[in-house]
């Protein structure tokens, strides 16, 4: 019974973490889209190395990164919900290239 309770709470914790990550990626994408619209409406541009870059370009980059992170979270979710997935501090160690 104890093992079943641990699995249930562990599953809920994973679900909450994945939901927060999805929410964060969606917020990043929406901020990028908002900045695109804002830049177009207000004709925002930035000086980058003596070149004028329209603000919508930066908004596109932010929206793209949000979409990329969304796909990464989807891959993480698939790996996280496997029954063989376990937390290990060794996952955070740098691997030496041979």
Q: What is the reported pTM?
A: 0.73
Please give the average per-residue pLDDT across 7-32, as a whole number: 85
Any idea what DSSP says for residue 94? P
* Domain parsing of the chain, residue ranges: 25-83
pLDDT in tens, 38-90: 999 999 888 989 888 898 999 999 999 999 999 988 888 888 777 776 666 67
Residue carrying structure tokens 């990164």: 65
SS3 51: strand
Residue carrying structure tokens 């996280």: 80
Please give the average per-residue pLDDT across 10-33, as a whole number: 88
Instruction: Name the strand (E) or helix (H) holding 47.
Output: strand 45-48
Which among 49, 26, 46, 47 has a CA at the least distance from the CA of 38?
A: 46
CA geometry: angle at 54 spanning 51 and 60, to 5°? 125
What is the pLDDT at residue 10?
A: 72
């Amino acid at each position: 019974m104890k093992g079943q309770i641990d699995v249930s709470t562990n599953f809920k914790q994973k679900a909450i973490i994945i939901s927060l990550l999805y929410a964060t990626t969606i917020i990043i994408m929406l901020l990028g889209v908002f900045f695109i619209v804002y830049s177009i409406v207000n004709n925002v541009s930035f000086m980058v190395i003596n070149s004028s870059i329209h603000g919508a370009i930066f908004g596109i980059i932010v929206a793209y990164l949000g979409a990329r992170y969304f796909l990464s979270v989807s891959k993480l979710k698939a790996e996280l919900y496997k029954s063989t997935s376990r937390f290990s501090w060794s996952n955070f160690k740098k691997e030496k290239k041979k």
